[in-house]
Amino acid sequence: MIFDAPNRNRFWAELLVEELVRCGVSFFSLAPGSRSTPLVTAVAAHPEARAHMHFDERGAAFLALGYARATGRGAAWVTTSGTAVANGLPAVVEAAMDGVPLLLLTADRPPELRDTGANQAIDQVKLFGDYVRWQFDLPVPDPAPDPAMVLTTVDQAVYRACRAPRGPVHLNVMFREPLAPEPDGGDFPAEGASLRAWYARGTPYTTYTGPAWTTSPPGDFVEILAGVERGLVVAGRLGTAAEGQAVRRLAEALGWPLLPDVGSQVRLGREHASPVRVDYFDLLLAQPGFAETHRPEAVLHFGRRPTSKRLARLLETTAPPLYALFQPDPFRHDPAHRVTHRFEVDLAAFATALATAVPSRAAGAAAWLAGWKTASDRVGAWLNTALPATGLSEPAVAHAVTRLLPPEHSLVLAASMPVRDADVFAAADGPAVPVFANRGASGIDGTVATAAGVALGRAAPATLLIGDLALLHDLNSLALLRRAPVVVVVLNNDGGGIFHFLPIARHTGVFEPFFGTPHGLGFEHAARLFDLPYHRPATLADFEAAYREACATGQAALIEVVTDRRANRALHDRLQKEAGEALA
């Protein structure tokens, strides 16, 4: 019981952990350290706290991020003082950029040890700058403040993390020694007397009521849509299947083409098949003639930035007279400066309301939709034959994974080429599974740990499609897969394959050593080090068999697909050209 705490450090730490759990934050990703001892022992003692240890602070932060991303609930990262805190910055940036509720609990030295040269003491106050939604420097546990201050601080932190705009919050928690749970003579039943009623009722100390969003589309906006014949509904990255389905139903009500990003939660799956869903829009827009003749006059864009650069280029060069962006936060999200109408709304609720309010379809809308849909279906039918013929290629693997995913899996896509290949080449007739990617800042940091957090958050297996550099970058997080069933499919092309798609690739003298960065490494020994089943298929058929076998176990595994970077670039060019021929 909290009021029986052995010392004041533990008393405050138990108050903090108890209130976090009451506020819905029960997942704690911890890294070992001394100064965080009161927090760690409080988490360990709480019956409803889920504690996951990882020896790498950066990986632990991404583990919490993956859990929060998968569940939509806040997750806590607990670490000791010093550079351990700085290791959380990449995850904090990603959480800030993509609206993921992350609670950062960083232990710190007391004031008298700051700026004195004390060991493992750095300036942790406002270390994460503007990337956190809120931050507070919690004072050293002391008998003077009312301990309710700890509770109201936690309540504010969770509210700020989980309300729009969601994101990370930072509680910097100072502790003096003794750090271990050893008695210090404090009378905590007396000090906590005012908290007895709070403790007995089992609910948070402070109840927050969030702002109410409107779900009624403005009448003048609905009227604007009435005469639109050439409209597009863009489904960017969305957080839930409910959001994706609401946006799909809106596109159906309008009769406009739906261009779904791979992270829209409606791009994958025969269950989401629709007469308006245009699966292969990126390959269509790669054809100059198609892009030129399919310029929209109105765009309704829901969710985050799409993966497709070709779609972004179409919207930038077209500059449609109506470009409405719908987001659950106030941020601009308009790098091309084309947005004409900005709505801060609950995406699912607003899309549903707009679907019921839209006017009858304009006369030419059916022909416009048919032009997109027929072309996409033709390219999709061609891909079903063309991709297997490429052998064990990166596009073929992306297509195969999205076709063979078990329905209980989620799909996690690493930055660089994996997320792009899945966006372009994903199968249209596979299962409808949740898709996750760290596309807020699009870094390769912590990708394995993120996938582990997703698997733990969903309490179900995950498939991770990742490149070799991203896996090398987070290799030690393979240790997390002992408890998180993630099937890792690593595309090893011996370096930075994505750079072959950039102009620097033409500068051969500097390209290979500084951008291609070949490493000559394989992952068989890494799999053995972390006790993971390992497969290295030689053909596409071998890959499909190995993937099915790995998924059937319900456990983690590592499948290494070896490809060639230069051949991969040439293959992408050839597929783009042949897609145009299939259209013709």
Predicted confidence pLDDT, tens digits, the chain (584 residues)? 798 889 999 999 999 999 999 999 999 999 999 999 999 999 999 999 999 999 999 999 999 999 999 999 999 999 999 999 999 999 999 999 999 999 999 999 999 988 898 888 899 999 999 999 999 999 999 998 999 999 999 999 999 999 999 999 999 999 999 999 988 888 888 888 889 999 999 999 999 988 888 888 998 899 989 889 999 999 999 999 999 999 999 999 999 999 999 999 999 998 888 999 999 999 999 998 999 999 999 999 999 999 999 999 999 999 999 999 999 999 999 999 999 999 999 999 999 999 999 887 877 889 999 999 999 999 999 999 999 999 999 999 999 999 999 999 999 999 999 999 999 999 999 999 999 999 999 999 999 999 999 999 999 999 999 999 999 999 999 999 999 999 999 999 999 888 888 888 888 888 888 888 899 999 999 999 999 999 999 999 999 999 999 999 999 999 999 999 999 999 999 999 999 999 88
Calpha distance 136→25 (Å, rounded): 18
Burial environment of residue 200 by CB neighbours within 10 A (0 to 12, 13 to 18, 19 or more): exposed
Q: What's at 199, amino acid-wise? A: Y
Helix 57-71 with 447-458: angle, nearest 10 deg: 40
Token digits of residue 552? 């059937």
Mutual angle of helices 394-404 and 565-583, in 10-degree steps: 70
Burial call 501-539: b when 16+ CB within 10 Å, e when fewer: beeebeeeeebeeebbeeeeebbeebbeebebbbbbbee
Cβ–Cβ < 8 Å for 298, 225: yes
On whether the CB atoms of residues 85 and 79 are closer than 8 A, the answer is yes
> Is the CA virtual torsion 370, 376, 379, 383 positive or negative?
negative
Local structure of 86: helix, strand or coil: helix
Q: Specify the DSSP class assigned to residue 277.
A: B
- Strands, DSSP E only, in 63-217? 75-79, 102-108, 134-138, 168-174
Burial class (CB in 10 A: 0-12, 13-18, 19+), 584: exposed
Amino acid at 572: H
Q: Quote the CA–CA distance of 8 and 2 in Å, as a whole number.
A: 11
pLDDT for position 297:
95
Closest by CA to 195, choosing from 238, 147, 150, is 147
pLDDT of residue 208: 94
Tell me phi and psi for residue 40, to 5 degrees: -65, -45
**What's the confidence (pLDDT) of residue 301?**
98
State how far Cα 276 lies from the chain centre: 26
- Reference 562, options 529, 535, 536, 540; nearest CA is 536
For residue 193, the model assigns a pLDDT of: 87
The residue count for the chain: 584
Of 53, 108, 56, give the one whose Cα is nearest residue 80: 108
Given a contact cutoff of 8 angstroms between Cβ atoms, the answer to whether 264 and 363 are in contact is: no
Local structure of 584: helix, strand or coil: coil
Tell me what pLDDT residue 399 has. 98
> At 124, is the secondary structure helix, strand, or coil?
coil
Give the per-residue pLDDT at 280: 98
| CA separation, residue 485 to residues 66, 461, 481, 534 (Å) | 14, 5, 6, 14
Mind listing the domains of the chain with CATH numbers?
A: 2-201 (3.40.50.970), 219-375 (3.40.50.1220), 390-583 (3.40.50.970)
CA-CA-CA-CA torsion for 412, 415, 417, 418, nearest 10 degrees?
A: 0
Q: Could you tell me whether strands 258-260 and 27-30 are parallel, antiparallel, or unpaired per DSSP bridges?
A: unpaired
Cα 133–134–139 angle (5° rounding)? 160
- Least Cα distance to 439 among 311, 263, 283 occurs for 263
Please give the pLDDT value at position 504.
85
Looking at residue 288, what is its pLDDT? 86
Per-residue pLDDT, 325: 97
SS3 label, residue 337: coil
Answer yes or no: are the C-beta atoms of 43 and 60 closer than 8 Å: no
How far is residue 540 from each of residues 93, 390, 400, 537, 562, measured CA to CA in Å? Answer: 37, 9, 9, 7, 11
Tokens found for residue 377:
């279906």
- Residues 346, 344: Cα–Cα separation, whole Å: 7
Looking at residue 140, what is its pLDDT? 95
Q: Please give the full DSSP string across 304-318, using - where no structure is assigned.
A: S--S-HHHHHHHHHH
What pLDDT score does 190 carry? 83
* Token duo for residue 143: 């008998």
Task: Express the helix, strand and coil content of the chain in percent, nearest 5 each.
Answer: 45, 15, 40
Query: Starting at the edge strand that comes first in sequence, how are the strands of the sheet with 322-327 ordered?
Result: 258-260, 231-235, 298-302, 322-327, 341-344
- 341-374 burial code (b ≥16 CB/10 A, e <16): eebbbbbbebbbbbbebbeebbeebeebbebbbe
Helices (H), 390-491: 394-404, 417-425, 447-458, 468-473
